[in-house]
Amino acid sequence: MGIFSKKGLCSICGKEKGKEISDGFVCKDCELRCGMFITKLGDNKSLGRVQDYTKLIEKNKEYLKIQEERKAIFKPNKEIGGIMFVDEEHGLWSWGSGMFKKKPEGPIYHIYEIVSYYIVEDGDVISRGTVNSSHAAGTKIVINHGSSSKQNCSQLDLCINTTLIPVPARMRMIQSTTKTSSLVYRNSHRQLKDAENFLAGVKLQICNEQLKKVKVTVSTKSAEQPKQADDSLAKIKQLKELLDMGAITEEEFNTKKKELLNL
């Protein structure tokens, strides 16, 4: 391990010399081709297998393709708290960039990819919420409200977990010592409130969509059953006619009837 680890030709591209992993070697290029998905391997990347790396490279390729497609159609028409840019028509969003966050930047997410969010102030989670509960299994965060008496804040982040990538989408609101009495500090919290309200709206939209789906399945089911019952009844009537005509026996009639009634 470390500097003594063996080097050999990359098991994936076969071109470059690479670091030793569980069952082969991986070069720097192939590691980079995994993009953000490399975090799925955890801290000890040398324990990964060749097939893990190959899968992550595929995942990243797919992700880059999705980004290209989204970039081509992304037209934000709404700004949330001056930090999120939303294209309501396509249901897409991205962070704003630069000092004044006036231009969309970074990955383009779909609003339905949002799983949950949390706000961290100087290491304390001061607020959090679930957006899409069907994805949010096992995310438990303890909220530590920052002490209200503190005079400075040196870091304030909004983190959004998505199903798009394995790392949270992070917006740094404050990154240097800022007085909690300052306009910058209060403004940052106002922006975060706007973002939280928006996320609550997305949650509502997802809940409504899910409710609609449930209603559709329920209504198609209840519509099918009476139809089936109607069909069975009509067939039994026909059979009864055949019985009365003497075309079938009493025994044949009873067997068929049982079948149709699922007895």
Residues that bind Zn ion (CB under 5 A): 10, 12-13, 27, 30
- Tell me how far, at minimum, the Cβ of 64 lies from Zn ion, in Å: 17
Is residue 132 a contact partner of residue 93, using CB atoms and an 8 Å limit?
no
Q: Which is nearer to Zn ion, 14 or 106 (CB)?
A: 14
60 or 191: CB nearest Zn ion: 60
Cα gap 164→62, rounded to integer Å: 10
Residue 244's φ and ψ, nearest 5 degrees, are -60, -35
Nearer to Zn ion, 57 or 171 (CB): 57
User: Which residue intervals of the chain are DSSP H helices?
Assistant: 28-32, 50-73, 183-245, 250-260
For Zn ion, the closer of residues 28 and 103 by Cβ is 28
Shortest CB 63 distance to Zn ion, Å: 19
Residue type, 135: H
Q: Name which of 64 and 73 has its Cβ closer to Zn ion.
A: 64
Question: Please, what is the minimum distance in Å from the beta carbon of residue 18 to Zn ion?
Answer: 6
Asked if residues 18 and 50 have their Cβ atoms less than 8 Å apart, the reply is: no
Give me the least distance between CB of 165 and Zn ion, in Å please: 22
Task: Name the residue type at position 67.
Answer: Q
We find the least distance from the C-beta atom of residue 8 to Zn ion, in angstroms, to be: 11
Q: Which residue has the tokens 């026909």?
A: 238
